[in-house]
């Protein structure tokens, strides 16, 4: 991106948070799962009767998750990890953590369904494991050594 098109971190247009939206079959059941199992809280909830849809915004610290239920939605069949990337589109949401071992213990304590145990890929600097939510959507917990490194943009200044 050329400098004249760069939003710049000081700009009001620069993204501050990244959110994910997951289309689900039962928004009420999914909200209960994310609140009860992962500690999210409901920020906003609205039904759109004219679209036969319902939207819930959830938050956990700086993480924002949007769940949407639409009548007639179609489920996508996605293989489990490590083949989950064979279906195009967003394959999972990822929560970055400081310590993967602590995160794995936390998941076990909560009785979360682990669908892939912790794998470390040294040349990428990541260790990750996967769980599924109540509808089978993949959630990755990942620890990345490069998150503490300055970005290329910070290095050039």
pLDDT range class, residue 1, cuts 50, 70, 90: very low
Same domain, 52 and 101: no
Same domain, 61 and 94: no
Q: 125 or 7, which is more confident?
A: 125
Asked if residue 152 has pLDDT above 80, the reply is: no
Percentage with pLDDT > 70 across the chain = 85
Percentage with pLDDT > 90 across the chain = 73
Tokens 């959110």 label which residue? Answer: 19
Rounded-to-integer distance, Cα 127 and Cα 139, Å:
14
Of 1-10, 12-21, 84-93, the one with minimum mean pLDDT is 1-10
Q: What is the pLDDT of residues 9-27, one digit of tens each?
A: 666 666 666 789 999 999 9
Same domain, 92 and 62: no
Residue 68, C-beta contacts closer than 8 angstroms, at least 6 positions apart: 21, 22, 23, 24, 27, 53, 54, 55, 56
Q: Which domain holds residue 139?
A: 81-157
Same domain, 92 and 136: yes
Average confidence (pLDDT) over 35-45: 97
CATH code assigned at 137: 3.10.180.10
Same domain, 39 and 59: yes
Instruction: Please state, rounded to an integer, the average pLDDT across all residues of the chain.
Output: 89
Same domain, 38 and 63: yes
The total domain count for the chain is 2
């Amino acid at each position: 991106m050329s400098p004249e098109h760069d939003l710049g971190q000081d700009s009001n247009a620069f993204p501050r948070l990244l959110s994910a939206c997951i289309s689900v079959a039962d928004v009420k059941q999914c909200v209960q799962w994310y609140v009860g199992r992962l500690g999210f809280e409901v920020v906003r909830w609205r039904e759109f009767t004219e679209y036969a849809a319902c939207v819930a915004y959830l938050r956990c610290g700086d993480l924002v998750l949007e769940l949407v239920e639409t009548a007639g939605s179609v489920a996508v069949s996605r293989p489990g990890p490590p083949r989950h990337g064979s279906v195009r589109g967003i394959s999972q949401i990822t929560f970055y953590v400081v310590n993967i071992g602590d995160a794995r213990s936390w998941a076990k304590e909560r009785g979360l369904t682990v669908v892939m145990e912790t794998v470390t890929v040294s040349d990428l600097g990541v260790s990750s494991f996967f769980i599924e939510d109540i509808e089978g959507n993949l959630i990755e917990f990942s620890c990345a050594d490069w998150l503490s490194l300055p970005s290329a943009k910070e290095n050039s200044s």
